Amino acid sequence: MRLLKHCSQLSVLLGVCFMVAALPARSDSFETYQKNPTLENAAEVFVEGMNTRDIPTLNKIVDVDGLLDRALNGLGDDQTMRDVKRGAKQGIEANMYNNWFRVLNETDGVVDFRRLINVDGQKRALVLMDMGESGMNFLELIVNPKTRKVEDIYVHTTGETLSQSMTKVFGMMMPNSSNFLKRILDRRDIDNAIVNSFRDINNYNRQGQYDKSYRKLKTLPQDVQDTRVISLMKVFMAQSLSDEVYRKELDQLDKLHGKDPEMFFILMDHYFFTEQYERGISGLKMLNKRFGEDGAIENLISVYQFLKKDYTQALKHIDKAIAMEPEKLDHYWFKADVLNGKGDFKGTLATFDKIESMADIYVDPSELRKLEGYEAFVASDEFKRWAAKRE
């Protein structure tokens, strides 16, 4: 998911774009959890397993049996479900974790426990997957109060829990999949052609042939394609094809289901591509209310305000992000962009000085002269005096 994540052009050019700083290994997190199995400590074990790419650690804290029970509930008879569960458990441990690891490895991603949140009376642990320039994803860990293990995860880039996503996959594979398809597609009749199409799609997905999956989805009747579940599937498949196809499917998802609040995070790219900045800001504020305010979200609100050229609001929100996460250098890089846009060149230079004081970084005047949008800044007396002392 190419979710919007602003990375200051300054930091890209200088080769020092910092998103979430590398976290120290929490090698004692499981021992701490065993002594005190709180939701916070469970989240720390999950984060350690993700950051160290350690499946045994994740298996200690994720109740795969409980997750499968939630996903398979009501899909078939007990014996069928036992057979499915045996095969699925191995698949989850081998594939689900490794897919997460692959994304993190490809993006130098870092996972971070943010805080506990309350969702409809249920306490959850909020976790951020920060993938740098490739975007971000928020996960909400749902812990069983009896087993004290993670039994489900709400994934913001899908708008549903992991078990709900798995239910759809398993339901389409069942011998009586036509009954399941009737339910999720809200159709009275499902013919064999549709059933067979979904079986083909599942096979293509298992083989990683997402282009074939997408083309098969496009052959379904239009009213089936327009359902929320299929609209989402097309968006996810389109990401593997091209930006043009991805943007087209996002646009269609917005037209059909854009009013659904659970679709907001998925549509973030669309709001950015189509310059619907107010919708982006509105949704981010809604997320902040759910999360109890988060520095990463404040940064994104600032980005949208910056794109609107409302530099006063952009500065307000990036300062909030800095107050929440004063160690995150990417906030300061973006603050320099905001102050430059605002014409506050003295403040821009002060921000560069702050960045240099925080890390082993030299802000090179010759590099600043190359930046688009900084023409007035490099022509200013403030910059010339500052540069003269360095060159």
Q: What are the two backbone dihedrals, phi and then psi, of residue 112, each rounded to the nearest 5 degrees?
A: -140, 130
Closest CA to 330 of 136, 139, 137, 132: 132
**Of 3.30.499.10, 1.20.120.420, 3.40.50.10490, 1.25.40.10, which CATH number belongs to 277-388?**
1.25.40.10
Q: How many Cα atoms within 13 Å fall on the side-chain side of residue 112?
A: 20
Query: If one looks up domain 176-259 in CATH, what number appears?
Result: 1.25.40
pLDDT by residue (tens digit) across 105-116? 999 999 999 999
Do the bridges between strand 122-130 and strand 136-143 make them parallel or antiparallel, or are there none, so unpaired? Answer: antiparallel
Look at residue 185 in the predicted model and tell me its pLDDT. Answer: 82
Specify the fold of 1-160. Nuclear Transport Factor 2; Chain: A, (3.10.450)
Give the model confidence (pLDDT) of 268-320 as tens digits: 999 999 999 999 999 999 999 999 999 999 999 999 999 999 999 999 999 99
Residues in the chain, how many? 391
Q: Do domains 1-160 and 176-259 have the same CATH topology?
A: no
- Please report the DSSP string for 130-197 in residue order: E-GGG-EEEEEEEE-TTT-SEEEEEETTTTEEHHHHHHHHHHHHSTTHHHHHHHHHT-S---HHHHHH
How far is Cα 156 from Cα 263, in angstroms, rounded to an integer? 9
d(CA 182, CA 188): 6
Q: Return the pLDDT at 183.
A: 80
SS3 category, 1: coil
pLDDT tens digits, 204-217 = 887 889 899 999 99
Instruction: Give 133-139 contacts, CB < 8 A, sequence gap 24+.
Output: 133/5, 133/7, 133/12, 133/17, 133/19, 133/107, 134/2, 134/5, 134/106, 134/107, 134/109, 135/1, 135/2, 135/3, 135/4, 135/5, 136/3, 136/5, 136/296, 137/1, 137/3, 138/265, 138/287, 138/291
Q: What does the alpha-carbon distance between residue 97 and residue 58 come to, in Å, rounded to a whole number?
A: 8
Q: What percent of the chain has pLDDT over 90?
A: 67
Closest Cα to residue 134, out of 169, 168, 110? 110
Q: Which tokens is 29 given?
A: 């997190």
> Reduced to 3 states, what is the DSSP secondary structure of residue 115?
strand
Contact 355, 324 (CB under 8 A): no
Beta bridge pairs of residue 111? 129
Kindly provide the residue ranges of all beta strands, DSSP E only, lying in the chain, ordered along the sequence: 110-119, 122-130, 136-143, 150-155, 160-161
Neighbouring-strand partners of residue 154 = 140, 161
**pLDDT tens digits for range 126-153:** 999 999 888 899 999 999 999 999 999 9
Domain ranges of the chain: 1-160, 176-259, 277-388
Q: Classify 124 as helix, strand or coil.
A: strand
Instruction: Quote the pTM value.
Output: 0.86
How far, in Å, CA of 112 to CA of 98, rounded?
A: 18
Contacts of 3 (CB under 8 A, 6+ apart): 135, 136, 137, 157, 265, 268, 269
Q: Which two tokens stand for residue 343?
A: 């014409």
